[in-house]
Chain A
Amino acid sequence: MNHSLDPVMTDATDAAVETALADLTATAPAGLRPKVLVEVGLADAYAHIDSPIGPLTVAWNGRGVSEVAAATDGGTFEARHRAATGRESFAMDALPSRLADAIGRRLAGDRRVRIDLDLRGHSPFEQDVWHKALEIPRGEVRPYGWIAAEIGRPRAVRAVGTALGHNPVPLIVPCHRVVRTDGFIGQYSLGGPANKRTILRSEGLDPEGLEAQAAAGIRYVGSDTTNIMCLPTCRHARRTQDVHRVAFRSVKAGIAAGYRPCKVCRPDSGAVLAA
Protein backbone atom coordinates (compact mmCIF):
# COMPACT_ATOMS: atom_id res chain seq x y z
CA MET A 1 0.00 0.00 0.00
CA ASN A 2 1.46 3.32 -1.05
CA HIS A 3 0.34 6.30 1.05
CA SER A 4 1.82 9.00 -1.15
CA LEU A 5 -0.63 10.45 -3.57
CA ASP A 6 -0.08 11.09 -7.21
CA PRO A 7 0.56 14.88 -7.43
CA VAL A 8 -1.82 15.14 -10.38
CA MET A 9 -4.68 13.89 -8.23
CA THR A 10 -5.60 16.98 -6.21
CA ASP A 11 -9.03 15.91 -4.97
CA ALA A 12 -7.78 14.04 -1.89
CA THR A 13 -10.18 12.03 0.22
CA ASP A 14 -10.61 11.99 3.99
CA ALA A 15 -9.74 8.29 3.93
CA ALA A 16 -6.36 9.05 2.33
CA VAL A 17 -5.65 11.64 5.05
CA GLU A 18 -6.66 9.20 7.77
CA THR A 19 -4.42 6.46 6.33
CA ALA A 20 -1.47 8.83 6.24
CA LEU A 21 -2.11 9.90 9.86
CA ALA A 22 -2.19 6.28 11.04
CA ASP A 23 1.40 5.99 9.76
CA LEU A 24 2.66 8.82 12.01
CA THR A 25 3.42 6.66 15.05
CA ALA A 26 6.97 6.85 16.40
CA THR A 27 9.14 4.69 18.64
CA ALA A 28 10.22 6.18 21.98
CA PRO A 29 13.97 6.94 22.16
CA ALA A 30 15.96 4.15 23.84
CA GLY A 31 16.88 6.44 26.74
CA LEU A 32 13.29 7.21 27.76
CA ARG A 33 12.55 4.07 29.81
CA PRO A 34 15.86 4.16 31.78
CA LYS A 35 15.36 7.86 32.58
CA VAL A 36 11.83 7.27 33.87
CA LEU A 37 12.73 4.20 35.96
CA VAL A 38 15.80 5.91 37.45
CA GLU A 39 13.86 9.08 38.24
CA VAL A 40 11.18 7.22 40.19
CA GLY A 41 13.71 4.91 41.89
CA LEU A 42 12.76 1.63 40.21
CA ALA A 43 16.19 1.38 38.59
CA ASP A 44 19.56 3.03 39.10
CA ALA A 45 22.07 4.87 36.97
CA TYR A 46 25.78 4.40 37.61
CA ALA A 47 29.07 6.05 36.68
CA HIS A 48 32.65 6.18 37.92
CA ILE A 49 34.39 8.74 40.15
CA ASP A 50 37.94 8.97 41.48
CA SER A 51 38.77 8.65 45.18
CA PRO A 52 41.83 8.34 47.43
CA ILE A 53 41.54 4.56 47.04
CA GLY A 54 41.13 4.55 43.27
CA PRO A 55 38.15 4.59 40.89
CA LEU A 56 34.73 3.89 42.38
CA THR A 57 31.35 3.08 40.91
CA VAL A 58 28.54 5.26 42.26
CA ALA A 59 24.90 4.29 41.66
CA TRP A 60 22.01 6.68 42.16
CA ASN A 61 18.33 7.23 41.36
CA GLY A 62 15.71 9.92 41.93
CA ARG A 63 15.61 9.09 45.64
CA GLY A 64 19.35 9.35 46.27
CA VAL A 65 22.69 7.58 46.10
CA SER A 66 22.15 3.84 46.44
CA GLU A 67 25.58 2.25 46.13
CA VAL A 68 29.30 3.01 46.23
CA ALA A 69 31.66 0.19 45.26
CA ALA A 70 35.16 -0.37 43.93
CA ALA A 71 34.97 0.10 40.16
CA THR A 72 34.53 -3.08 38.13
CA ASP A 73 33.33 -3.73 34.61
CA GLY A 74 29.71 -2.80 34.01
CA GLY A 75 28.39 -6.37 33.73
CA THR A 76 29.83 -7.36 37.12
CA PHE A 77 28.47 -4.22 38.77
CA GLU A 78 25.01 -4.64 37.24
CA ALA A 79 24.77 -8.28 38.35
CA ARG A 80 25.87 -7.46 41.92
CA HIS A 81 23.63 -4.43 42.10
CA ARG A 82 20.65 -6.49 40.98
CA ALA A 83 21.44 -9.19 43.53
CA ALA A 84 21.70 -6.59 46.31
CA THR A 85 18.75 -4.34 45.40
CA GLY A 86 16.63 -6.28 42.89
CA ARG A 87 16.94 -3.33 40.53
CA GLU A 88 18.24 -2.90 37.00
CA SER A 89 21.09 -0.40 36.52
CA PHE A 90 22.16 1.64 33.53
CA ALA A 91 25.69 2.89 32.72
CA MET A 92 26.06 6.68 32.34
CA ASP A 93 29.05 8.70 31.15
CA ALA A 94 29.30 10.68 34.37
CA LEU A 95 27.46 11.59 37.56
CA PRO A 96 25.07 14.54 37.33
CA SER A 97 27.32 17.53 38.01
CA ARG A 98 25.46 18.56 41.17
CA LEU A 99 25.84 15.08 42.65
CA ALA A 100 29.52 14.85 41.66
CA ASP A 101 30.11 18.24 43.25
CA ALA A 102 28.25 17.27 46.44
CA ILE A 103 30.18 14.00 46.82
CA GLY A 104 33.48 15.80 46.20
CA ARG A 105 32.68 18.35 48.89
CA ARG A 106 31.50 15.69 51.33
CA LEU A 107 34.70 13.65 50.85
CA ALA A 108 36.66 16.85 51.40
CA GLY A 109 34.98 17.14 54.82
CA ASP A 110 32.04 19.48 54.21
CA ARG A 111 29.26 17.87 56.25
CA ARG A 112 26.75 20.60 55.47
CA VAL A 113 26.37 19.50 51.84
CA ARG A 114 23.23 17.45 51.50
CA ILE A 115 23.45 14.07 49.74
CA ASP A 116 20.19 12.12 49.63
CA LEU A 117 20.62 8.39 50.18
CA ASP A 118 18.39 5.59 48.96
CA LEU A 119 18.64 2.98 51.71
CA ARG A 120 15.35 1.19 51.00
CA GLY A 121 15.29 -2.49 51.85
CA HIS A 122 17.68 -2.23 54.80
CA SER A 123 16.69 -2.81 58.41
CA PRO A 124 15.91 0.09 60.75
CA PHE A 125 18.87 -1.03 62.90
CA GLU A 126 21.26 -0.80 59.93
CA GLN A 127 19.88 2.60 59.00
CA ASP A 128 20.31 3.83 62.59
CA VAL A 129 23.95 2.68 62.54
CA TRP A 130 24.65 4.38 59.23
CA HIS A 131 22.94 7.63 60.21
CA LYS A 132 24.97 7.71 63.41
CA ALA A 133 28.21 7.13 61.46
CA LEU A 134 27.27 10.18 59.35
CA GLU A 135 27.71 12.31 62.49
CA ILE A 136 31.42 11.50 62.84
CA PRO A 137 33.43 14.43 61.48
CA ARG A 138 36.22 14.04 58.95
CA GLY A 139 39.57 13.38 60.60
CA GLU A 140 38.00 11.77 63.69
CA VAL A 141 37.19 8.18 64.63
CA ARG A 142 34.79 6.53 67.09
CA PRO A 143 34.70 2.96 68.44
CA TYR A 144 32.02 0.43 67.39
CA GLY A 145 30.77 0.46 70.99
CA TRP A 146 30.25 4.22 70.75
CA ILE A 147 27.79 3.78 67.86
CA ALA A 148 26.02 0.95 69.71
CA ALA A 149 25.57 3.10 72.83
CA GLU A 150 24.55 6.22 70.88
CA ILE A 151 21.73 4.41 69.06
CA GLY A 152 20.49 2.92 72.33
CA ARG A 153 21.72 -0.63 71.71
CA PRO A 154 24.84 -0.70 73.92
CA ARG A 155 25.14 -4.50 73.81
CA ALA A 156 24.88 -4.75 70.01
CA VAL A 157 28.54 -3.92 69.35
CA ARG A 158 29.09 -6.92 67.10
CA ALA A 159 25.88 -6.21 65.16
CA VAL A 160 27.10 -2.64 64.65
CA GLY A 161 30.27 -4.04 63.06
CA THR A 162 28.19 -6.24 60.78
CA ALA A 163 25.89 -3.35 59.81
CA LEU A 164 28.90 -1.18 58.96
CA GLY A 165 30.28 -4.04 56.85
CA HIS A 166 27.00 -3.97 54.90
CA ASN A 167 27.10 -0.21 54.36
CA PRO A 168 26.02 0.15 50.71
CA VAL A 169 27.41 3.68 50.42
CA PRO A 170 30.92 3.61 51.98
CA LEU A 171 32.83 6.94 51.97
CA ILE A 172 29.51 8.85 51.84
CA VAL A 173 28.43 7.10 55.04
CA PRO A 174 31.91 7.19 56.62
CA CYS A 175 32.08 3.71 58.14
CA HIS A 176 35.87 4.04 57.77
CA ARG A 177 35.69 6.41 60.79
CA VAL A 178 34.50 3.61 63.06
CA VAL A 179 37.32 1.62 64.65
CA ARG A 180 37.73 -1.24 67.09
CA THR A 181 36.97 -0.56 70.72
CA ASP A 182 40.56 -1.50 71.64
CA GLY A 183 41.80 1.32 69.42
CA PHE A 184 42.90 -0.78 66.45
CA ILE A 185 41.72 0.36 63.03
CA GLY A 186 39.89 -2.86 62.16
CA GLN A 187 38.19 -4.22 59.07
CA TYR A 188 36.82 -2.36 56.07
CA SER A 189 34.29 -3.47 53.49
CA LEU A 190 35.49 -1.33 50.60
CA GLY A 191 38.54 -3.32 49.53
CA GLY A 192 39.99 -4.28 52.94
CA PRO A 193 41.76 -2.68 55.95
CA ALA A 194 44.62 -1.14 53.91
CA ASN A 195 42.03 1.07 52.18
CA LYS A 196 40.62 2.13 55.54
CA ARG A 197 44.09 3.36 56.57
CA THR A 198 44.57 5.14 53.24
CA ILE A 199 41.28 7.00 53.62
CA LEU A 200 41.93 7.95 57.26
CA ARG A 201 45.41 9.18 56.27
CA SER A 202 43.82 11.25 53.46
CA GLU A 203 41.63 12.81 56.16
CA GLY A 204 44.68 13.86 58.17
CA LEU A 205 44.83 11.03 60.70
CA ASP A 206 47.82 8.83 61.57
CA PRO A 207 46.31 5.33 61.91
CA GLU A 208 49.52 3.64 63.06
CA GLY A 209 50.15 6.40 65.60
CA LEU A 210 46.62 5.94 66.97
CA GLU A 211 47.13 2.20 67.27
CA ALA A 212 50.47 2.67 69.04
CA GLN A 213 48.83 5.11 71.45
CA ALA A 214 45.98 2.69 72.15
CA ALA A 215 48.47 -0.17 72.67
CA ALA A 216 50.29 2.00 75.19
CA GLY A 217 47.02 2.37 77.12
CA ILE A 218 46.08 5.87 75.97
CA ARG A 219 42.36 5.52 75.18
CA TYR A 220 41.14 8.88 76.44
CA VAL A 221 42.79 12.27 76.55
CA GLY A 222 42.03 15.05 79.04
CA SER A 223 43.11 18.65 79.50
CA ASP A 224 44.20 19.72 82.99
CA THR A 225 43.01 23.27 82.29
CA THR A 226 39.38 22.28 81.56
CA ASN A 227 39.18 18.92 83.36
CA ILE A 228 37.35 17.52 80.31
CA MET A 229 38.31 14.20 78.72
CA CYS A 230 37.79 13.21 75.09
CA LEU A 231 38.32 10.44 72.61
CA PRO A 232 41.86 10.93 71.23
CA THR A 233 40.77 12.17 67.78
CA CYS A 234 38.10 14.59 69.04
CA ARG A 235 38.84 18.07 67.72
CA HIS A 236 38.88 19.37 71.31
CA ALA A 237 41.46 16.77 72.39
CA ARG A 238 43.65 17.60 69.44
CA ARG A 239 43.60 21.29 70.37
CA THR A 240 44.98 20.55 73.84
CA GLN A 241 48.63 21.56 74.25
CA ASP A 242 51.04 18.74 75.13
CA VAL A 243 51.90 20.25 78.54
CA HIS A 244 48.24 20.17 79.55
CA ARG A 245 47.45 16.72 78.09
CA VAL A 246 46.54 13.92 80.50
CA ALA A 247 46.01 10.34 79.29
CA PHE A 248 43.51 7.85 80.71
CA ARG A 249 43.08 4.13 80.23
CA SER A 250 39.37 4.27 80.91
CA VAL A 251 36.54 6.75 81.36
CA LYS A 252 36.19 5.51 84.92
CA ALA A 253 39.83 6.38 85.63
CA GLY A 254 39.24 9.85 84.19
CA ILE A 255 36.12 10.40 86.27
CA ALA A 256 38.00 9.23 89.36
CA ALA A 257 40.64 11.88 88.58
CA GLY A 258 37.96 14.58 88.48
CA TYR A 259 37.46 14.84 84.71
CA ARG A 260 34.08 14.97 82.98
CA PRO A 261 33.34 13.47 79.53
CA CYS A 262 33.40 15.88 76.56
CA LYS A 263 29.88 16.71 75.33
CA VAL A 264 30.99 16.70 71.70
CA CYS A 265 32.71 13.31 71.32
CA ARG A 266 30.94 11.73 74.33
CA PRO A 267 33.71 9.28 75.32
CA ASP A 268 31.38 7.74 77.92
CA SER A 269 29.13 6.42 75.11
CA GLY A 270 29.87 2.72 75.02
CA ALA A 271 32.89 3.06 77.25
CA VAL A 272 33.69 0.10 79.45
CA LEU A 273 33.28 1.76 82.82
CA ALA A 274 35.35 -0.87 84.65
CA ALA A 275 38.75 0.56 85.50
Chain B
Amino acid sequence: MPGAEFRGLMDTDDRLAADLARDLDRTFDALVLAHQDRLYTIALRMLGDPRDAEEAAQDALVRAYRALATYDQARIRELRVRGWLTTIVLNLCRTRSLRRAGRGAPPVSLDGDAGGQLQPSAPRKEAPAEVAERHAERERWGARLADLPPVYRAAVVLRHVDGMSYPEAAAALGRPEGTVKAQVHRGIALLRTMLEADARHELEEMTA
Protein backbone atom coordinates (compact mmCIF):
# COMPACT_ATOMS: atom_id res chain seq x y z
CA MET B 1 0.00 0.00 0.00
CA PRO B 2 2.69 2.58 0.83
CA GLY B 3 4.54 1.53 -2.31
CA ALA B 4 2.03 2.85 -4.84
CA GLU B 5 1.48 6.11 -2.95
CA PHE B 6 5.21 6.48 -2.60
CA ARG B 7 5.82 6.56 -6.35
CA GLY B 8 3.20 9.24 -6.83
CA LEU B 9 4.66 11.34 -4.04
CA MET B 10 8.17 11.14 -5.46
CA ASP B 11 6.98 12.42 -8.82
CA THR B 12 5.05 15.24 -7.15
CA ASP B 13 8.08 16.04 -5.02
CA ASP B 14 10.42 16.26 -8.01
CA ARG B 15 8.03 18.68 -9.70
CA LEU B 16 7.67 20.63 -6.46
CA ALA B 17 11.46 20.93 -6.11
CA ALA B 18 11.75 22.14 -9.71
CA ASP B 19 8.99 24.72 -9.15
CA LEU B 20 10.52 25.86 -5.85
CA ALA B 21 13.86 26.34 -7.58
CA ARG B 22 12.19 28.44 -10.28
CA ASP B 23 9.99 30.60 -8.05
CA LEU B 24 10.05 30.00 -4.30
CA ASP B 25 7.40 32.57 -3.38
CA ARG B 26 4.87 31.37 -5.93
CA THR B 27 5.42 27.71 -5.12
CA PHE B 28 5.77 27.63 -1.36
CA ASP B 29 2.00 27.53 -0.75
CA ALA B 30 1.86 24.32 -2.82
CA LEU B 31 4.55 22.83 -0.55
CA VAL B 32 2.49 23.77 2.52
CA LEU B 33 -0.66 22.24 1.06
CA ALA B 34 1.17 19.06 0.02
CA HIS B 35 3.03 18.48 3.29
CA GLN B 36 1.17 20.15 6.17
CA ASP B 37 -0.96 17.09 7.03
CA ARG B 38 1.96 14.69 7.11
CA LEU B 39 4.25 17.05 9.06
CA TYR B 40 1.45 17.64 11.54
CA THR B 41 0.81 13.89 11.78
CA ILE B 42 4.48 13.12 12.41
CA ALA B 43 4.67 15.85 15.07
CA LEU B 44 1.44 14.70 16.68
CA ARG B 45 2.58 11.08 16.87
CA MET B 46 6.02 12.10 18.17
CA LEU B 47 4.80 14.65 20.73
CA GLY B 48 1.30 13.39 21.57
CA ASP B 49 -0.11 16.89 22.09
CA PRO B 50 -2.11 18.60 19.28
CA ARG B 51 -1.03 22.13 20.20
CA ASP B 52 2.65 21.19 20.45
CA ALA B 53 2.29 19.34 17.17
CA GLU B 54 0.78 22.36 15.41
CA GLU B 55 3.58 24.62 16.68
CA ALA B 56 6.26 22.14 15.62
CA ALA B 57 4.74 21.74 12.13
CA GLN B 58 4.40 25.52 11.78
CA ASP B 59 7.96 26.06 12.91
CA ALA B 60 9.21 23.39 10.50
CA LEU B 61 7.49 25.00 7.49
CA VAL B 62 8.71 28.50 8.42
CA ARG B 63 12.27 27.22 8.81
CA ALA B 64 11.98 25.38 5.50
CA TYR B 65 10.98 28.60 3.74
CA ARG B 66 13.80 30.60 5.31
CA ALA B 67 16.33 27.92 4.40
CA LEU B 68 15.06 27.68 0.82
CA ALA B 69 15.37 31.46 0.50
CA THR B 70 19.13 31.09 1.07
CA TYR B 71 19.64 28.07 -1.24
CA ASP B 72 20.65 28.46 -4.86
CA GLN B 73 18.51 26.95 -7.63
CA ALA B 74 20.64 23.86 -8.16
CA ARG B 75 20.55 22.97 -4.48
CA ILE B 76 16.74 23.31 -4.34
CA ARG B 77 16.26 21.25 -7.51
CA GLU B 78 18.23 18.36 -5.98
CA LEU B 79 16.33 18.47 -2.70
CA ARG B 80 14.35 15.39 -1.62
CA VAL B 81 11.61 17.67 -0.28
CA ARG B 82 9.69 15.00 1.60
CA GLY B 83 12.66 13.62 3.52
CA TRP B 84 14.18 17.07 4.08
CA LEU B 85 10.98 18.44 5.66
CA THR B 86 10.70 15.29 7.76
CA THR B 87 14.20 15.74 9.15
CA ILE B 88 13.36 19.35 10.08
CA VAL B 89 10.15 18.48 11.91
CA LEU B 90 11.75 15.51 13.71
CA ASN B 91 14.58 17.74 14.97
CA LEU B 92 12.06 20.29 16.23
CA CYS B 93 10.08 17.54 17.96
CA ARG B 94 13.26 16.33 19.65
CA THR B 95 14.10 19.84 20.89
CA ARG B 96 10.56 20.28 22.17
CA SER B 97 10.59 16.96 24.01
CA LEU B 98 13.91 17.82 25.66
CA ARG B 99 12.65 21.26 26.66
CA ARG B 100 9.45 19.75 28.03
CA ALA B 101 11.39 17.09 29.93
CA GLY B 102 13.59 19.87 31.34
CA ARG B 103 10.49 21.60 32.68
CA GLY B 104 9.52 18.40 34.47
CA ALA B 105 6.37 17.82 32.42
CA PRO B 106 5.61 14.29 31.26
CA PRO B 107 7.40 13.64 27.96
CA VAL B 108 4.19 12.78 26.13
CA SER B 109 0.58 13.41 27.05
CA LEU B 110 -1.73 10.54 26.37
CA ASP B 111 -4.74 12.50 25.13
CA GLY B 112 -3.23 13.00 21.71
CA ASP B 113 -6.49 12.55 19.88
CA ALA B 114 -8.41 15.03 22.05
CA GLY B 115 -9.58 18.09 20.16
CA GLY B 116 -11.82 18.26 17.17
CA GLN B 117 -9.41 18.55 14.25
CA LEU B 118 -8.08 15.07 14.27
CA GLN B 119 -10.31 13.44 11.71
CA PRO B 120 -8.59 10.88 9.53
CA SER B 121 -7.22 12.47 6.40
CA ALA B 122 -9.64 10.64 4.10
CA PRO B 123 -12.99 10.60 5.89
CA ARG B 124 -15.29 7.80 4.75
CA LYS B 125 -19.01 7.41 5.22
CA GLU B 126 -19.36 5.54 8.48
CA ALA B 127 -22.13 4.91 10.94
CA PRO B 128 -21.80 7.02 14.16
CA ALA B 129 -21.01 3.99 16.32
CA GLU B 130 -18.32 2.91 13.91
CA VAL B 131 -16.89 6.46 13.89
CA ALA B 132 -16.76 6.52 17.69
CA GLU B 133 -15.13 3.11 17.83
CA ARG B 134 -12.57 4.08 15.20
CA HIS B 135 -11.80 7.28 17.13
CA ALA B 136 -11.33 5.35 20.37
CA GLU B 137 -9.10 2.87 18.57
CA ARG B 138 -6.95 5.67 17.17
CA GLU B 139 -6.62 7.13 20.64
CA ARG B 140 -5.50 3.81 22.07
CA TRP B 141 -2.89 3.44 19.32
CA GLY B 142 -1.72 7.01 19.80
CA ALA B 143 -1.17 6.25 23.48
CA ARG B 144 0.71 3.01 22.70
CA LEU B 145 2.98 4.87 20.27
CA ALA B 146 3.64 7.47 22.94
CA ASP B 147 4.84 4.68 25.24
CA LEU B 148 7.51 3.58 22.76
CA PRO B 149 11.07 4.77 23.32
CA PRO B 150 11.52 7.82 21.00
CA VAL B 151 14.14 6.12 18.83
CA TYR B 152 11.71 3.32 17.91
CA ARG B 153 8.75 5.68 17.78
CA ALA B 154 10.35 7.87 15.08
CA ALA B 155 11.23 4.86 12.91
CA VAL B 156 7.76 3.34 13.28
CA VAL B 157 5.96 6.65 12.61
CA LEU B 158 7.94 7.31 9.42
CA ARG B 159 7.62 3.78 8.07
CA HIS B 160 4.06 2.89 9.03
CA VAL B 161 2.12 6.09 9.78
CA ASP B 162 3.72 8.30 7.11
CA GLY B 163 4.33 5.37 4.75
CA MET B 164 7.96 6.08 3.86
CA SER B 165 10.19 3.45 2.25
CA TYR B 166 13.10 2.18 4.34
CA PRO B 167 15.71 4.07 2.28
CA GLU B 168 13.71 7.28 2.66
CA ALA B 169 13.11 6.83 6.38
CA ALA B 170 16.81 6.04 6.84
CA ALA B 171 17.79 9.24 5.02
CA ALA B 172 15.31 11.34 6.99
CA LEU B 173 16.50 9.88 10.31
CA GLY B 174 20.18 10.00 9.37
CA ARG B 175 20.63 6.36 10.37
CA PRO B 176 21.72 3.31 8.34
CA GLU B 177 18.88 1.47 6.63
CA GLY B 178 19.59 -1.73 8.56
CA THR B 179 19.38 0.14 11.84
CA VAL B 180 16.03 1.67 10.88
CA LYS B 181 14.68 -1.73 9.84
CA ALA B 182 15.70 -3.20 13.18
CA GLN B 183 14.17 -0.25 15.03
CA VAL B 184 10.89 -0.58 13.14
CA HIS B 185 10.72 -4.32 13.83
CA ARG B 186 11.56 -3.82 17.49
CA GLY B 187 8.95 -1.03 17.71
CA ILE B 188 6.26 -3.16 16.07
CA ALA B 189 7.08 -6.05 18.40
CA LEU B 190 6.74 -3.76 21.43
CA LEU B 191 3.44 -2.40 20.14
CA ARG B 192 2.16 -5.93 19.60
CA THR B 193 3.11 -6.80 23.17
CA MET B 194 1.22 -3.72 24.40
CA LEU B 195 -1.80 -4.68 22.27
CA GLU B 196 -1.74 -8.24 23.67
CA ALA B 197 -1.42 -6.93 27.23
CA ASP B 198 -4.37 -4.58 26.68
CA ALA B 199 -6.42 -7.39 25.18
CA ARG B 200 -5.58 -9.71 28.11
CA HIS B 201 -6.46 -6.94 30.54
CA GLU B 202 -9.80 -6.39 28.80
CA LEU B 203 -10.46 -10.12 28.82
CA GLU B 204 -9.77 -10.32 32.55
CA GLU B 205 -12.14 -7.46 33.23
CA MET B 206 -14.85 -9.12 31.17
CA THR B 207 -14.49 -12.45 32.97
CA ALA B 208 -13.92 -11.02 36.46
Residue positions of A touching B, CB distance < 8 A: 3-5, 7-14, 16-18, 20-33, 35-37, 39-40, 42, 62
Contact = CB atoms under 8 A, between A and B. Distances in A.
A36 B62 CA distance: 6
A26 B163 contact: no
Given A5-B195, A29-B117, A40-B65, A24 B138 contact: yes
B20 to A, nearest CB: 13
B118 A17 contact: no
A65 B156 CA distance: 43
A24 B195 contact: no
Sort chain B's interface into a size bin. 35 or more
B45 A24 contact: yes
B161 A14 contact: no
B117 A30 contact: yes
Contact of A33 (B1, B33, B45): B33
A-B CB proximity, top 9 nearest: A21-B160, A28-B40, A28-B36, A40-B65, A7-B202, A36-B61, A25-B121, A10-B199, A29-B117
B66 to A, nearest CB: 7
Contacts of A11: 196
Interface in B38-57: 38-41, 44-45, 50, 54, 57
Contact of B117 (A4, A14, A24, A27): A27
Contact of B50 (A4, A13, A29, A62): A29
Nearest to A31: B54
Nearest to A20: B141
20 contacts: A7-B199, A7-B203, A7-B206, A12-B195, A17-B188, A17-B192, A18-B188, A22-B2, A23-B138, A24-B138, A26-B41, A26-B120, A27-B119, A28-B57, A29-B117, A30-B117, A39-B58, A40-B65, A42-B29, A42-B65
Contact of B32 (A16, A21, A22, A36): A36
B79 interface: no
B78 interface: no
Contacts of A16: 195
A31 B50 CA distance: 13
Contacts of B44: 26
Contacts of B163: 22
Contact of B161 (A25, A27, A28, A30): A25
B134 A3 contact: yes
Contacts of A31: 54
A20 B120 CA distance: 12
B145 interface: yes
B28 A42 contact: yes
B137 interface: yes
Contacts of A30: 117
B103 to A, nearest CB: 24
Contact of A25 (B37, B133, B156, B200): B37
A32 B62 contact: no
Interface string B137-170: 1100110010000000000100011110000000
B96 to A, nearest CB: 16
A29 B56 CA distance: 12
A3 B137 contact: yes
A39 B57 CA distance: 13
A10 B203 contact: yes
Interface in B1-24: 1-2
A24 B28 contact: no
A37 B32 contact: yes
B191 interface: yes
A3 B38 CA distance: 21
Contacts of A32: 36, 40, 54, 57-58, 61
A152 to B, nearest CB: 32
A17 B191 contact: yes
Contact of B160 (A7, A18, A27): A18
Contacts of B195: 5, 12, 16-17
